[in-house]
Structure 1
Protein backbone atom coordinates (compact mmCIF):
# COMPACT_ATOMS: atom_id res chain seq x y z
CA UNK A 1 0.00 0.00 0.00
CA UNK A 2 2.85 2.40 0.77
CA UNK A 3 5.25 1.50 -2.05
CA UNK A 4 4.37 4.47 -4.29
CA UNK A 5 6.64 7.51 -3.94
CA UNK A 6 6.01 10.54 -6.12
CA UNK A 7 9.67 11.50 -5.77
CA UNK A 8 10.40 9.00 -8.56
CA UNK A 9 7.99 10.84 -10.87
CA UNK A 10 8.46 14.50 -9.89
CA UNK A 11 8.72 16.80 -12.88
CA UNK A 12 7.55 14.23 -15.42
CA UNK A 13 5.21 15.08 -18.32
CA UNK A 14 2.15 14.36 -16.16
CA UNK A 15 3.37 16.91 -13.62
CA UNK A 16 3.80 19.49 -16.38
CA UNK A 17 0.13 19.09 -17.35
CA UNK A 18 -1.10 18.79 -13.76
CA UNK A 19 0.77 21.75 -12.36
CA UNK A 20 0.20 24.05 -15.33
CA UNK A 21 -3.53 23.40 -14.90
CA UNK A 22 -3.36 23.78 -11.12
CA UNK A 23 -1.58 27.13 -11.35
CA UNK A 24 -4.17 28.44 -13.82
CA UNK A 25 -6.93 27.38 -11.42
CA UNK A 26 -5.30 28.87 -8.33
CA UNK A 27 -4.48 32.12 -10.09
CA UNK A 28 -8.13 32.62 -11.01
CA UNK A 29 -9.80 31.34 -7.84
CA UNK A 30 -7.72 33.47 -5.48
CA UNK A 31 -8.64 36.74 -7.21
CA UNK A 32 -11.93 37.09 -5.32
CA UNK A 33 -12.21 38.73 -1.90
CA UNK A 34 -14.14 35.81 -0.38
CA UNK A 35 -12.04 33.24 1.46
CA UNK A 36 -11.13 30.06 -0.42
CA UNK A 37 -10.63 26.62 1.12
CA UNK A 38 -8.24 24.40 -0.85
CA UNK A 39 -8.19 20.68 -0.06
CA UNK A 40 -5.48 18.37 -1.40
CA UNK A 41 -6.50 14.75 -0.76
CA UNK A 42 -3.16 13.13 -1.67
CA UNK A 43 -0.55 15.79 -1.02
CA UNK A 44 2.74 13.87 -1.25
CA UNK A 45 5.93 15.32 0.21
CA UNK A 46 5.39 18.89 -1.00
CA UNK A 47 8.90 19.48 -2.40
CA UNK A 48 11.24 17.28 -4.44
CA UNK A 49 14.91 17.35 -5.45
CA UNK A 50 15.42 17.03 -9.19
CA UNK A 51 19.05 16.09 -8.52
CA UNK A 52 18.13 13.51 -5.87
CA UNK A 53 18.45 9.74 -6.03
CA UNK A 54 14.74 9.11 -6.67
CA UNK A 55 14.41 11.46 -9.63
CA UNK A 56 17.72 10.52 -11.19
CA UNK A 57 16.91 6.81 -10.85
CA UNK A 58 13.64 7.10 -12.78
CA UNK A 59 14.82 9.70 -15.30
CA UNK A 60 11.23 10.85 -15.75
CA UNK A 61 12.01 14.52 -15.20
CA UNK A 62 14.35 14.35 -18.20
CA UNK A 63 11.33 13.54 -20.37
CA UNK A 64 9.23 16.12 -18.55
CA UNK A 65 10.28 19.50 -17.20
CA UNK A 66 13.86 19.31 -18.50
CA UNK A 67 12.68 18.36 -21.98
CA UNK A 68 10.14 21.20 -21.91
CA UNK A 69 12.85 23.72 -21.10
CA UNK A 70 15.73 22.26 -23.09
CA UNK A 71 16.82 22.77 -26.68
CA UNK A 72 18.27 26.17 -26.00
CA UNK A 73 18.90 28.30 -22.95
CA UNK A 74 15.70 29.49 -21.27
CA UNK A 75 15.43 33.25 -21.08
CA UNK A 76 16.32 34.71 -17.67
CA UNK A 77 13.49 36.07 -15.54
CA UNK A 78 14.11 39.64 -16.73
CA UNK A 79 13.43 38.69 -20.34
CA UNK A 80 9.90 38.20 -21.61
CA UNK A 81 10.58 36.17 -24.75
CA UNK A 82 11.04 32.42 -24.71
CA UNK A 83 13.72 30.52 -26.64
CA UNK A 84 13.25 29.06 -30.06
CA UNK A 85 11.78 25.56 -30.00
CA UNK A 86 11.24 22.55 -32.28
CA UNK A 87 8.30 22.73 -34.64
CA UNK A 88 6.90 19.21 -35.01
CA UNK A 89 3.44 18.78 -36.43
CA UNK A 90 1.02 16.78 -34.30
CA UNK A 91 -2.67 16.12 -34.34
CA UNK A 92 -5.10 17.36 -31.72
CA UNK A 93 -8.30 15.44 -31.16
CA UNK A 94 -10.28 18.36 -29.79
CA UNK A 95 -14.07 18.11 -30.00
CA UNK A 96 -14.40 21.57 -28.51
CA UNK A 97 -12.36 23.28 -31.24
CA UNK A 98 -10.92 22.00 -34.51
CA UNK A 99 -10.57 18.24 -34.44
CA UNK A 100 -7.51 17.02 -36.28
CA UNK A 101 -6.03 20.49 -36.76
CA UNK A 102 -2.25 20.78 -37.01
CA UNK A 103 -0.54 21.95 -33.86
CA UNK A 104 1.26 25.27 -34.21
CA UNK A 105 4.96 25.68 -33.42
CA UNK A 106 5.78 24.86 -29.80
CA UNK A 107 6.74 28.38 -28.81
CA UNK A 108 5.30 31.29 -30.72
CA UNK A 109 7.54 34.25 -31.63
CA UNK A 110 6.18 36.19 -28.65
CA UNK A 111 7.00 33.41 -26.16
CA UNK A 112 5.38 30.77 -24.02
CA UNK A 113 1.64 30.35 -23.68
CA UNK A 114 0.65 32.39 -20.60
CA UNK A 115 -0.24 29.30 -18.53
CA UNK A 116 3.17 27.75 -19.23
CA UNK A 117 4.87 31.05 -18.48
CA UNK A 118 3.15 31.09 -15.08
CA UNK A 119 4.32 27.50 -14.48
CA UNK A 120 7.92 28.41 -15.34
CA UNK A 121 7.71 31.46 -13.08
CA UNK A 122 6.74 29.25 -10.14
CA UNK A 123 9.83 27.12 -10.77
CA UNK A 124 11.95 30.26 -10.96
CA UNK A 125 10.66 31.35 -7.58
CA UNK A 126 12.00 28.18 -5.96
CA UNK A 127 15.27 28.15 -7.93
CA UNK A 128 16.97 31.58 -7.78
CA UNK A 129 20.01 30.52 -9.83
CA UNK A 130 17.74 29.15 -12.56
CA UNK A 131 15.72 32.38 -12.46
CA UNK A 132 18.84 34.50 -12.82
CA UNK A 133 20.58 32.52 -15.53
CA UNK A 134 17.84 30.64 -17.36
CA UNK A 135 20.15 27.61 -17.32
CA UNK A 136 18.18 24.39 -16.64
CA UNK A 137 21.26 22.94 -14.96
CA UNK A 138 20.33 25.17 -12.01
CA UNK A 139 16.79 23.77 -11.77
CA UNK A 140 17.11 21.67 -8.61
CA UNK A 141 13.88 22.03 -6.62
CA UNK A 142 10.48 20.95 -7.91
CA UNK A 143 7.24 21.89 -6.12
CA UNK A 144 4.47 19.43 -5.46
CA UNK A 145 0.88 20.61 -5.45
CA UNK A 146 0.91 21.80 -1.77
CA UNK A 147 3.63 24.36 -2.42
CA UNK A 148 1.95 25.54 -5.61
CA UNK A 149 -1.38 25.93 -3.84
CA UNK A 150 0.08 27.75 -0.84
CA UNK A 151 1.94 30.25 -3.01
CA UNK A 152 -1.31 31.72 -4.33
CA UNK A 153 -3.20 31.93 -1.03
CA UNK A 154 -4.04 35.20 0.68
CA UNK A 155 -4.24 35.59 4.44
CA UNK A 156 -7.94 34.75 4.49
CA UNK A 157 -7.58 31.44 2.60
CA UNK A 158 -7.02 27.96 4.06
CA UNK A 159 -5.19 24.87 2.77
CA UNK A 160 -5.95 21.35 4.04
CA UNK A 161 -3.38 18.69 3.14
CA UNK A 162 -3.81 14.94 3.57
CA UNK A 163 -1.12 12.30 3.12
CA UNK A 164 -1.12 8.69 4.35
CA UNK A 165 2.39 7.56 3.40
CA UNK A 166 4.40 7.78 6.66
CA UNK A 167 7.64 9.00 5.06
CA UNK A 168 5.95 11.50 2.76
CA UNK A 169 3.77 12.76 5.61
CA UNK A 170 6.86 13.44 7.70
CA UNK A 171 8.55 15.24 4.79
CA UNK A 172 5.40 17.22 4.01
CA UNK A 173 5.02 18.35 7.63
CA UNK A 174 8.63 19.51 7.77
CA UNK A 175 8.48 21.28 4.42
CA UNK A 176 5.27 23.14 5.32
CA UNK A 177 6.65 24.09 8.74
CA UNK A 178 9.56 25.85 7.04
CA UNK A 179 7.10 28.16 5.26
CA UNK A 180 6.12 29.69 8.59
CA UNK A 181 2.47 30.11 7.58
CA UNK A 182 0.99 28.96 10.89
CA UNK A 183 -2.60 27.77 10.87
CA UNK A 184 -3.24 28.73 7.27
CA UNK A 185 -2.02 25.27 6.22
CA UNK A 186 -3.09 22.12 8.09
CA UNK A 187 -1.33 18.79 7.46
CA UNK A 188 -2.98 15.52 8.50
CA UNK A 189 -2.04 11.89 8.13
CA UNK A 190 -5.45 10.71 7.03
CA UNK A 191 -7.18 9.03 4.12
CA UNK A 192 -8.03 12.01 1.93
CA UNK A 193 -10.96 10.23 0.32
CA UNK A 194 -12.70 10.02 3.69
CA UNK A 195 -11.35 13.18 5.32
CA UNK A 196 -12.76 15.36 2.53
CA UNK A 197 -16.31 14.81 3.78
CA UNK A 198 -15.64 16.75 6.98
CA UNK A 199 -14.76 19.95 5.13
CA UNK A 200 -17.65 20.17 2.67
CA UNK A 201 -19.36 22.54 2.50
CA UNK A 202 -16.66 25.01 3.63
CA UNK A 203 -17.52 27.97 5.92
CA UNK A 204 -17.10 30.64 3.23
CA UNK A 205 -18.85 28.53 0.57
CA UNK A 206 -15.87 28.56 -1.78
CA UNK A 207 -13.60 25.55 -2.25
CA UNK A 208 -11.25 23.82 -4.65
CA UNK A 209 -10.42 20.13 -4.19
CA UNK A 210 -7.48 18.39 -5.87
CA UNK A 211 -7.79 14.60 -5.91
CA UNK A 212 -4.54 13.06 -7.11
CA UNK A 213 -4.03 9.51 -5.80
CA UNK A 214 -1.30 7.20 -7.03
CA UNK A 215 -3.74 4.74 -8.66
CA UNK A 216 -1.29 2.09 -7.48
CA UNK A 217 -4.31 0.07 -6.44
CA UNK A 218 -7.10 -0.49 -8.99
CA UNK A 219 -9.63 0.40 -6.31
CA UNK A 220 -8.43 4.03 -6.45
CA UNK A 221 -10.32 4.59 -9.70
CA UNK A 222 -13.62 3.65 -8.12
CA UNK A 223 -12.83 5.57 -4.95
CA UNK A 224 -12.15 8.74 -6.95
CA UNK A 225 -15.50 8.50 -8.73
CA UNK A 226 -17.35 7.81 -5.47
CA UNK A 227 -15.51 10.59 -3.65
CA UNK A 228 -16.31 13.17 -6.32
CA UNK A 229 -19.97 12.14 -6.46
CA UNK A 230 -20.24 12.60 -2.69
CA UNK A 231 -18.37 15.93 -2.82
CA UNK A 232 -20.64 17.39 -5.52
CA UNK A 233 -23.67 16.25 -3.55
CA UNK A 234 -22.37 17.95 -0.39
CA UNK A 235 -21.20 21.14 -2.10
CA UNK A 236 -22.32 21.48 -5.70
CA UNK A 237 -20.53 24.74 -6.53
CA UNK A 238 -17.01 23.70 -5.51
CA UNK A 239 -14.27 23.30 -8.11
CA UNK A 240 -13.19 19.64 -8.22
CA UNK A 241 -9.95 18.67 -9.94
CA UNK A 242 -8.93 15.08 -10.69
CA UNK A 243 -5.65 13.94 -12.18
CA UNK A 244 -5.73 10.48 -13.78
CA UNK A 245 -3.29 8.28 -15.74
CA UNK A 246 -4.17 7.08 -19.23
CA UNK A 247 -2.87 3.54 -19.41
CA UNK A 248 -4.04 0.24 -20.98
CA UNK A 249 -6.44 -0.53 -18.13
CA UNK A 250 -10.25 -0.38 -18.39
CA UNK A 251 -10.59 1.49 -15.09
CA UNK A 252 -8.33 4.28 -16.36
CA UNK A 253 -10.48 4.87 -19.44
CA UNK A 254 -13.74 4.53 -17.52
CA UNK A 255 -12.87 7.19 -14.92
CA UNK A 256 -13.15 10.34 -17.09
CA UNK A 257 -16.38 8.98 -18.57
CA UNK A 258 -17.79 8.46 -15.07
CA UNK A 259 -16.77 11.96 -14.04
CA UNK A 260 -18.38 13.43 -17.15
CA UNK A 261 -21.61 11.54 -16.43
CA UNK A 262 -21.51 12.75 -12.83
CA UNK A 263 -21.10 16.38 -13.88
CA UNK A 264 -23.83 16.20 -16.51
CA UNK A 265 -26.33 14.57 -14.15
CA UNK A 266 -25.57 17.20 -11.50
CA UNK A 267 -26.00 20.00 -14.04
CA UNK A 268 -22.42 21.20 -13.53
CA UNK A 269 -19.93 22.44 -16.14
CA UNK A 270 -16.85 20.31 -16.79
CA UNK A 271 -13.54 20.27 -18.67
CA UNK A 272 -11.31 17.34 -19.59
CA UNK A 273 -7.74 17.89 -20.82
CA UNK A 274 -5.44 15.01 -21.74
CA UNK A 275 -1.82 14.99 -22.89
CA UNK A 276 -0.30 12.04 -24.77
CA UNK A 277 3.46 11.96 -25.30
CA UNK A 278 3.97 8.51 -26.83
CA UNK A 279 2.40 5.21 -27.86
CA UNK A 280 1.06 2.90 -25.18
CA UNK A 281 2.00 -0.24 -27.10
CA UNK A 282 4.49 -2.76 -25.75
CA UNK A 283 7.76 -3.06 -27.68
CA UNK A 284 10.77 -5.37 -27.58
CA UNK A 285 14.45 -4.52 -27.26
CA UNK A 286 17.33 -6.02 -29.25
CA UNK A 287 17.42 -9.06 -26.95
CA UNK A 288 13.74 -9.75 -27.43
CA UNK A 289 12.72 -8.59 -23.96
CA UNK A 290 9.36 -6.85 -23.67
CA UNK A 291 9.71 -3.13 -22.91
CA UNK A 292 6.78 -1.46 -21.18
CA UNK A 293 6.16 2.14 -22.26
CA UNK A 294 5.75 3.59 -18.77
CA UNK A 295 3.15 6.34 -18.54
CA UNK A 296 2.21 7.41 -22.08
CA UNK A 297 -0.52 9.90 -21.22
CA UNK A 298 -2.49 11.54 -18.43
CA UNK A 299 -5.48 13.80 -17.96
CA UNK A 300 -7.01 16.49 -15.80
CA UNK A 301 -10.77 16.47 -15.26
CA UNK A 302 -12.29 19.59 -13.71
CA UNK A 303 -15.86 19.97 -12.46
CA UNK A 304 -17.01 23.63 -12.29
CA UNK A 305 -13.91 24.98 -14.06
CA UNK A 306 -13.33 28.75 -14.29
CA UNK A 307 -14.42 30.20 -17.63
CA UNK A 308 -10.79 31.14 -18.34
CA UNK A 309 -9.36 27.61 -18.11
CA UNK A 310 -10.35 26.40 -21.57
CA UNK A 311 -8.55 29.24 -23.36
CA UNK A 312 -5.50 28.89 -21.13
CA UNK A 313 -5.12 25.20 -21.97
CA UNK A 314 -5.93 25.69 -25.66
CA UNK A 315 -2.81 27.84 -25.87
CA UNK A 316 -0.60 25.67 -23.63
CA UNK A 317 -1.39 22.13 -24.78
CA UNK A 318 0.00 22.44 -28.33
CA UNK A 319 3.29 23.69 -26.88
CA UNK A 320 3.37 20.73 -24.47
CA UNK A 321 2.78 18.30 -27.33
CA UNK A 322 5.48 19.80 -29.52
CA UNK A 323 8.09 19.95 -26.74
CA UNK A 324 7.25 16.78 -24.79
CA UNK A 325 6.10 14.47 -27.59
CA UNK A 326 8.25 11.36 -28.02
CA UNK A 327 6.74 9.86 -31.16
CA UNK A 328 4.05 10.45 -33.78
CA UNK A 329 1.33 9.42 -31.33
CA UNK A 330 1.83 12.60 -29.29
CA UNK A 331 -1.24 14.82 -29.10
CA UNK A 332 -3.88 16.27 -26.84
CA UNK A 333 -7.62 16.36 -26.27
CA UNK A 334 -9.55 19.22 -24.76
CA UNK A 335 -13.26 18.74 -24.16
CA UNK A 336 -15.75 20.75 -22.14
CA UNK A 337 -19.44 20.97 -21.51
CA UNK A 338 -22.17 22.35 -19.32
Structure 2
Protein backbone atom coordinates (compact mmCIF):
# COMPACT_ATOMS: atom_id res chain seq x y z
CA UNK A 1 0.00 0.00 0.00
CA UNK A 2 1.26 3.44 -0.95
CA UNK A 3 -1.75 5.41 0.31
CA UNK A 4 -1.22 7.86 3.19
CA UNK A 5 -4.29 9.60 4.55
CA UNK A 6 -2.12 12.43 5.88
CA UNK A 7 -2.15 13.92 2.36
CA UNK A 8 -5.96 14.16 2.50
CA UNK A 9 -6.73 14.81 6.16
CA UNK A 10 -9.51 17.33 6.67
CA UNK A 11 -10.69 17.40 3.07
CA UNK A 12 -14.37 17.46 2.03
CA UNK A 13 -14.56 13.67 2.16
CA UNK A 14 -13.32 13.64 5.75
CA UNK A 15 -15.89 16.27 6.69
CA UNK A 16 -18.73 14.13 5.34
CA UNK A 17 -17.37 10.88 6.77
CA UNK A 18 -16.72 12.27 10.23
CA UNK A 19 -20.04 14.12 10.53
CA UNK A 20 -21.87 10.90 9.64
CA UNK A 21 -19.68 8.83 11.97
CA UNK A 22 -20.38 11.05 14.97
CA UNK A 23 -24.09 11.08 14.19
CA UNK A 24 -24.12 7.26 14.22
CA UNK A 25 -22.16 7.13 17.48
CA UNK A 26 -24.53 9.55 19.19
CA UNK A 27 -27.53 7.53 18.00
CA UNK A 28 -26.01 4.33 19.38
CA UNK A 29 -25.30 6.03 22.68
CA UNK A 30 -28.97 6.89 23.14
CA UNK A 31 -29.25 3.47 24.82
CA UNK A 32 -27.13 2.56 27.88
CA UNK A 33 -25.98 -0.86 26.64
CA UNK A 34 -22.35 -1.11 25.56
CA UNK A 35 -21.23 -0.63 21.96
CA UNK A 36 -18.43 -2.32 20.01
CA UNK A 37 -16.86 -0.44 17.08
CA UNK A 38 -14.53 -1.91 14.46
CA UNK A 39 -12.51 0.49 12.29
CA UNK A 40 -11.08 -1.64 9.48
CA UNK A 41 -8.76 0.94 7.86
CA UNK A 42 -7.85 3.16 10.76
CA UNK A 43 -4.77 5.03 9.55
CA UNK A 44 -2.66 6.70 12.20
CA UNK A 45 -5.61 8.13 14.14
CA UNK A 46 -4.28 11.66 14.48
CA UNK A 47 -2.94 14.14 11.90
CA UNK A 48 -1.45 17.61 11.67
CA UNK A 49 -2.68 20.01 9.03
CA UNK A 50 0.62 21.89 9.03
CA UNK A 51 2.88 18.94 8.24
CA UNK A 52 4.52 18.53 4.85
CA UNK A 53 2.08 15.92 3.58
CA UNK A 54 -1.03 17.96 4.34
CA UNK A 55 0.50 21.19 3.05
CA UNK A 56 1.57 19.47 -0.17
CA UNK A 57 -2.04 18.91 -1.23
CA UNK A 58 -3.74 21.73 0.69
CA UNK A 59 -6.99 19.75 0.64
CA UNK A 60 -8.02 20.81 4.14
CA UNK A 61 -8.32 24.42 2.93
CA UNK A 62 -11.40 23.47 0.90
CA UNK A 63 -12.67 21.16 3.62
CA UNK A 64 -12.56 21.56 7.37
CA UNK A 65 -10.76 24.92 7.31
CA UNK A 66 -13.45 26.40 5.04
CA UNK A 67 -16.12 25.03 7.32
CA UNK A 68 -14.42 26.58 10.34
CA UNK A 69 -14.38 30.01 8.69
CA UNK A 70 -18.17 30.24 8.54
CA UNK A 71 -19.92 27.13 9.85
CA UNK A 72 -23.59 26.74 8.95
CA UNK A 73 -25.87 26.43 11.95
CA UNK A 74 -26.74 22.75 12.34
CA UNK A 75 -26.45 20.33 15.29
CA UNK A 76 -24.41 17.76 13.33
CA UNK A 77 -21.91 20.39 12.17
CA UNK A 78 -21.67 21.79 15.70
CA UNK A 79 -21.05 18.29 17.02
CA UNK A 80 -18.24 17.72 14.53
CA UNK A 81 -16.58 21.06 15.28
CA UNK A 82 -16.86 20.42 19.02
CA UNK A 83 -14.96 17.16 18.55
CA UNK A 84 -12.37 18.96 16.42
CA UNK A 85 -11.89 21.55 19.15
CA UNK A 86 -11.49 18.83 21.77
CA UNK A 87 -8.79 17.26 19.62
CA UNK A 88 -6.99 20.57 19.23
CA UNK A 89 -7.21 21.28 22.93
CA UNK A 90 -5.55 17.93 23.63
CA UNK A 91 -3.02 17.82 20.78
CA UNK A 92 -2.43 21.33 19.43
CA UNK A 93 -4.13 23.88 17.21
CA UNK A 94 -3.21 22.23 13.90
CA UNK A 95 -4.24 18.70 14.85
CA UNK A 96 -6.98 16.86 13.01
CA UNK A 97 -8.71 13.72 14.36
CA UNK A 98 -8.95 10.58 12.29
CA UNK A 99 -11.87 8.21 12.70
CA UNK A 100 -10.27 6.17 15.54
CA UNK A 101 -9.78 9.33 17.58
CA UNK A 102 -13.37 10.39 16.96
CA UNK A 103 -14.66 6.97 18.00
CA UNK A 104 -12.64 7.14 21.22
CA UNK A 105 -13.89 10.68 21.83
CA UNK A 106 -17.54 9.82 21.24
CA UNK A 107 -17.84 6.46 22.95
CA UNK A 108 -18.01 5.74 26.67
CA UNK A 109 -15.84 4.01 29.26
CA UNK A 110 -17.72 0.69 28.95
CA UNK A 111 -17.68 0.68 25.12
CA UNK A 112 -14.92 -1.04 23.16
CA UNK A 113 -13.10 -0.18 19.93
CA UNK A 114 -10.95 -2.34 17.64
CA UNK A 115 -8.79 -0.52 15.10
CA UNK A 116 -6.89 -2.13 12.22
CA UNK A 117 -4.05 -0.74 10.14
CA UNK A 118 -1.92 -2.78 7.78
CA UNK A 119 0.89 -0.30 7.04
CA UNK A 120 3.61 -0.78 9.72
CA UNK A 121 4.45 2.90 10.14
CA UNK A 122 0.83 3.99 10.38
CA UNK A 123 0.06 1.14 12.81
CA UNK A 124 2.94 2.23 15.04
CA UNK A 125 1.60 5.80 15.10
CA UNK A 126 -1.86 4.46 15.92
CA UNK A 127 -0.51 2.47 18.85
CA UNK A 128 1.27 5.56 20.13
CA UNK A 129 -1.99 7.53 20.10
CA UNK A 130 -4.00 4.90 22.00
CA UNK A 131 -1.36 3.12 24.07
CA UNK A 132 -2.92 4.30 27.32
CA UNK A 133 -6.58 3.78 26.45
CA UNK A 134 -7.88 0.40 27.68
CA UNK A 135 -11.00 0.70 25.51
CA UNK A 136 -9.02 0.68 22.25
CA UNK A 137 -7.31 -2.37 20.75
CA UNK A 138 -4.87 -1.69 17.91
CA UNK A 139 -4.33 -4.50 15.41
CA UNK A 140 -1.52 -4.31 12.85
CA UNK A 141 -3.43 -6.41 10.35
CA UNK A 142 -5.63 -6.37 7.28
CA UNK A 143 -9.02 -4.92 8.14
CA UNK A 144 -10.98 -7.30 5.94
CA UNK A 145 -9.41 -10.24 7.72
CA UNK A 146 -10.44 -8.62 10.98
CA UNK A 147 -14.08 -8.77 9.93
CA UNK A 148 -13.79 -12.55 9.99
CA UNK A 149 -11.62 -12.65 13.11
CA UNK A 150 -13.33 -10.09 15.32
CA UNK A 151 -17.03 -10.34 14.44
CA UNK A 152 -19.10 -11.06 16.36
CA UNK A 153 -17.20 -9.64 19.36
CA UNK A 154 -15.40 -12.32 21.33
CA UNK A 155 -13.81 -12.67 24.73
CA UNK A 156 -14.82 -9.97 27.23
CA UNK A 157 -16.61 -8.14 24.40
CA UNK A 158 -18.90 -11.11 23.68
CA UNK A 159 -21.52 -9.55 25.96
CA UNK A 160 -21.80 -6.57 23.59
CA UNK A 161 -24.66 -6.95 21.15
CA UNK A 162 -24.72 -3.54 19.42
CA UNK A 163 -22.09 -1.88 17.33
CA UNK A 164 -20.64 -0.21 14.32
CA UNK A 165 -18.28 -1.32 11.55
CA UNK A 166 -16.50 1.52 9.74
CA UNK A 167 -14.91 0.61 6.40
CA UNK A 168 -12.75 3.35 4.88
CA UNK A 169 -10.32 1.71 2.44
CA UNK A 170 -7.93 3.61 0.14
CA UNK A 171 -9.52 2.41 -3.13
CA UNK A 172 -6.13 2.27 -4.81
CA UNK A 173 -7.63 -0.22 -7.28
CA UNK A 174 -11.15 1.12 -7.23
CA UNK A 175 -13.24 -1.52 -9.02
CA UNK A 176 -11.51 -4.40 -7.26
CA UNK A 177 -11.93 -2.67 -3.89
CA UNK A 178 -15.69 -2.47 -4.39
CA UNK A 179 -15.79 -6.25 -4.85
CA UNK A 180 -13.82 -6.72 -1.64
CA UNK A 181 -16.05 -4.30 0.28
CA UNK A 182 -19.23 -6.09 -0.78
CA UNK A 183 -17.78 -9.48 0.13
CA UNK A 184 -16.66 -8.22 3.55
CA UNK A 185 -20.05 -6.66 4.27
CA UNK A 186 -21.86 -9.85 3.26
CA UNK A 187 -19.64 -11.95 5.52
CA UNK A 188 -19.71 -9.48 8.41
CA UNK A 189 -23.50 -9.08 8.36
CA UNK A 190 -23.90 -12.86 8.38
CA UNK A 191 -21.66 -13.01 11.44
CA UNK A 192 -23.13 -10.03 13.30
CA UNK A 193 -26.43 -9.03 11.63
CA UNK A 194 -27.43 -6.32 14.08
CA UNK A 195 -24.38 -4.11 13.47
CA UNK A 196 -24.56 -0.80 11.64
CA UNK A 197 -22.05 -0.57 8.78
CA UNK A 198 -20.67 2.75 7.52
CA UNK A 199 -18.76 2.31 4.26
CA UNK A 200 -17.03 5.30 2.70
CA UNK A 201 -16.47 5.46 -1.06
CA UNK A 202 -14.99 8.05 -3.45
CA UNK A 203 -16.88 9.56 -6.38
CA UNK A 204 -15.12 10.52 -9.58
CA UNK A 205 -17.85 9.71 -12.07
CA UNK A 206 -21.02 8.70 -10.28
CA UNK A 207 -22.11 6.33 -13.04
CA UNK A 208 -19.05 4.20 -12.32
CA UNK A 209 -20.66 3.40 -8.95
CA UNK A 210 -23.82 1.90 -10.43
CA UNK A 211 -22.58 -1.73 -10.54
CA UNK A 212 -21.44 -1.45 -6.92
CA UNK A 213 -24.64 0.11 -5.60
CA UNK A 214 -26.88 -2.29 -7.55
CA UNK A 215 -25.41 -5.12 -5.48
CA UNK A 216 -26.24 -3.58 -2.12
CA UNK A 217 -29.95 -4.58 -1.89
CA UNK A 218 -28.77 -8.19 -2.12
CA UNK A 219 -26.80 -7.94 1.12
CA UNK A 220 -28.33 -9.40 4.31
CA UNK A 221 -29.04 -5.99 5.83
CA UNK A 222 -32.47 -4.80 6.97
CA UNK A 223 -31.95 -1.40 5.33
CA UNK A 224 -29.40 0.45 3.21
CA UNK A 225 -28.99 4.21 2.84
CA UNK A 226 -26.56 6.26 0.73
CA UNK A 227 -25.50 9.79 1.64
CA UNK A 228 -23.35 11.58 -0.95
CA UNK A 229 -21.68 14.96 -1.19
CA UNK A 230 -20.28 16.19 -4.50
CA UNK A 231 -18.31 19.41 -4.30
CA UNK A 232 -18.23 19.77 -8.11
CA UNK A 233 -19.89 18.06 -11.09
CA UNK A 234 -18.92 14.42 -11.43
CA UNK A 235 -17.55 14.79 -14.96
CA UNK A 236 -13.83 14.20 -14.35
CA UNK A 237 -12.26 10.77 -13.77
CA UNK A 238 -8.95 12.40 -12.78
CA UNK A 239 -9.90 13.76 -9.38
CA UNK A 240 -12.24 13.00 -6.51
CA UNK A 241 -15.31 15.12 -7.12
CA UNK A 242 -17.13 13.90 -4.05
CA UNK A 243 -17.70 10.94 -1.80
CA UNK A 244 -20.43 8.93 -0.22
CA UNK A 245 -21.32 6.90 2.83
CA UNK A 246 -23.14 3.62 2.39
CA UNK A 247 -25.00 2.93 5.62
CA UNK A 248 -26.27 -0.58 6.30
CA UNK A 249 -28.73 -0.92 9.19
CA UNK A 250 -28.45 2.82 9.98
CA UNK A 251 -29.92 4.11 13.25
CA UNK A 252 -33.53 5.21 13.32
CA UNK A 253 -34.15 8.71 11.90
CA UNK A 254 -30.56 9.18 10.80
CA UNK A 255 -31.83 9.89 7.29
CA UNK A 256 -33.84 12.88 8.53
CA UNK A 257 -30.82 14.34 10.29
CA UNK A 258 -28.63 13.91 7.20
CA UNK A 259 -31.28 15.35 4.89
CA UNK A 260 -30.97 18.71 6.61
CA UNK A 261 -27.16 18.83 6.83
CA UNK A 262 -26.14 17.66 3.35
CA UNK A 263 -27.46 20.78 1.52
CA UNK A 264 -25.57 22.98 3.98
CA UNK A 265 -22.33 21.11 3.34
CA UNK A 266 -22.80 21.31 -0.42
CA UNK A 267 -23.38 25.04 -0.16
CA UNK A 268 -20.40 25.69 2.09
CA UNK A 269 -17.80 23.30 0.67
CA UNK A 270 -18.97 23.09 -2.92
CA UNK A 271 -17.94 24.77 -6.13
CA UNK A 272 -20.42 25.64 -8.91
CA UNK A 273 -22.31 22.46 -9.75
CA UNK A 274 -22.05 20.96 -6.26
CA UNK A 275 -24.80 18.53 -5.27
CA UNK A 276 -25.88 16.00 -2.70
CA UNK A 277 -27.86 12.79 -2.61
CA UNK A 278 -29.69 10.85 0.08
CA UNK A 279 -31.45 7.68 -1.06
CA UNK A 280 -32.66 4.43 0.40
CA UNK A 281 -31.37 1.45 -1.56
CA UNK A 282 -33.45 -0.72 0.77
CA UNK A 283 -36.05 0.97 2.93
CA UNK A 284 -36.40 0.00 6.60
CA UNK A 285 -39.02 -2.68 7.30
| Unaligned runs of at least 5 residues, structure 1 | 72-81, 83-106, 130-137, 283-291
Quick one: higher RCO (CA 8 Å, sep 6+), 1 or 2?
1
Q: What's the C-alpha RMSD, in Å, of the aligned pairs?
A: 2.0
Structure 1 residue 21 displacement after superposition: 0.1
Measure the CA separation in 1 of the matches of 2:10 and 2:95: 10
Q: Are 1:161 and 2:112 an aligned pair?
A: no
Q: Are 1:258 and 2:215 an aligned pair?
A: yes
* C-alpha spacing 1:279/1:271, structure 2 compared with 1 (3 Å): same
Q: 2:201 aligns with which of 197, 219, 244?
A: 244
1:162-202: per-residue Cα shift (whole Å, max 9, x none)?
Answer: 0001111111111112xx212x1110111110111122223
Maintained 8 Å contact 2:25/2:103: yes
Moved over 4 A (4+): none
Q: What SS does structure 1 have at the residue aligned with 2:215?
A: helix
Q: 1:125 aligns with which of 67, 86, 97?
A: 86
Q: What SS does structure 2 have at the residue aligned with 1:127?
A: helix
Measure the CA separation in 2 of the matches of 1:70 and 1:8: 21
TM-score, with normalisation over the residues of structure 1? Answer: 0.77
Q: 1:331 aligns with which of 254, 275, 284?
A: 275
* Map 1:1-338 → 2, pairs under 5 A: 2-70=1-69, 107=72, 112-128=73-89, 139-177=93-131, 180-182=132-134, 184-202=135-153, 203=158, 204-218=160-174, 219-248=176-205, 252-262=209-219, 266=220, 268-282=222-236, 294-327=239-272, 329-336=273-280, 337-338=283-284
Structure 1 residue 250 displacement after superposition: 6.6
Structure 1 residue 211 displacement after superposition: 0.6
Measure the CA separation in 2 of the matches of 1:17 and 1:49: 19
Measure the CA separation in 1 of the matches of 2:3 and 2:240: 14
Maintained 8 Å contact 2:6/2:54: yes
Measure the CA separation in 1 of the matches of 2:259 and 2:234: 24
Q: What SS does structure 1 have at the residue aligned with 2:38?
A: strand
TM-score, with normalisation over the residues of structure 2? Answer: 0.91
Measure the CA separation in 1 of the matches of 2:235 and 2:206: 12
Number of residue pairs aligned between Structure 1 and Structure 2: 276
Structure 1 residue 126 displacement after superposition: 1.5
Q: What SS does structure 1 have at the residue aligned with 2:233?
A: coil
Q: Which moved more, 1:243-252 or 1:42-51?
A: 243-252
Q: Which has the larger radius of gyration?
A: 1
Maintained 8 Å contact 2:42/2:115: yes
| Unaligned runs of at least 5 residues, structure 2 | none
1:107-127: per-residue Cα shift (whole Å, max 9, x none)?
Answer: 3xxxx2111110011011122
